Amino acid sequence: MNLIEIKNVYKQYKNGVTALCDVSVSIPKGDFVFVIGQTASGKSTLIKLLYRQERPTKGEVYVGGINVAKLKNRKVYKLRRKLGIVFQDYKLLPNLTVYENVAFALEMYGLPEREIRTKVMKSIEKVGLKEKFRSYPDQLSGGEQQRVSIARAIVNNPKILICDEPTGNLDPSTSMEIMEIINKINEEGTTIIMATHDKDIVDKYKKRVITLEKGILKGDKEKGGYSK
């Protein structure tokens, strides 16, 4: 069984805009998928369906065996526990240190302090910020802040890491550093779905590429690229 199943999904917003039109995609465990397309192609909508920020107007979305489309609001946390999510704008809490930002998610689950510390330090070390765990976000570069958000996303060992334009605010060199981290996480078994505009990254890494155009699935290639 595939880890993610998107079946004949349509998404129409209240303003009449159709963001997705009859999109079907299957993603097996351990896959690495780039979702590409121009602005307003439906990339972000597809990503938001996976973590139930949006619901489909029609069709089915299954993530880790959960029927996301029918998930009640009070049960969304059960889905999110299976996921890690990395955003373009980091979403760090400015008054918390690196350690505290990463620990925050685990504290909400009520885990013992010793277990939290072990998981948090392992996660911070994985993204190369062990020496800066006491720093605050405004003491870090953009690339370092994104590393913190990745550490926070993977601290609970999610099955799936969803990345929505994670290198969108970064220079090319820093973007490649962030991609090395994300690629390593994939090599350790986590399934990655990443929406991106970054042609250089897509062409370099030669992963599976799903192309959207005005809400329509235009391509799905193993070891694809951005270039035609």
Q: Is residue 15 in a domain? A: no
Q: Is residue 213 in a domain? A: no
Cα 179 to chain centroid distance, Å, stands at 12
C-alpha distances in Å from residue 74, one per residue of 54, 57, 70, 115, 225 = 15, 20, 12, 26, 39
Q: Is residue 149 in a domain? A: yes
* Confidence (pLDDT) at 228: 52
pTM, whole model, 2 decimals?
Answer: 0.93
Q: Is residue 43 in a domain? A: no
Strands, E, within 79-159: which ranges?
A: 83-86
* Number of compact structural domains in the chain: 1
Q: Is residue 147 in a domain? A: yes
Cα 172 to chain centroid distance, Å, stands at 19
Q: Is residue 195 in a domain? A: no
- Packing angle between helix 172-187 and helix 142-154, nearest 10 degrees? 20
* Confidence (pLDDT) at 227: 61
Q: Is residue 151 in a domain? A: yes
* Confidence (pLDDT) at 81: 84
- Packing angle between helix 113-126 and helix 172-187, nearest 10 degrees? 130
Contact 137, 145 (CB under 8 A): yes
Sign of CA dihedral 89, 95, 98, 103: negative
Query: What is the block-wise mean pLDDT of the chain (228 residues), using blocks of 10 residues?
Result: 92 92 96 92 93 94 91 88 90 95 87 93 96 96 96 94 93 95 96 93 94 94 75
Amino acid at 37: G
Beta-carbon contacts of residue 135 (< 8 Å; ≥ 6 apart): 97, 98
Owning domain of residue 135: 92-157
The residues pairing with 62 across neighbouring beta strands, listed in sequence order, are 5, 67
Q: Is residue 138 in a domain? A: yes
C-alpha 32/C-alpha 186 separation (Å) is 7
From the list 214, 190, 194, 212, the residue with the least C-alpha distance to 202 is 194
C-alpha distances in Å from residue 181, one per residue of 10, 148, 173 = 33, 12, 13
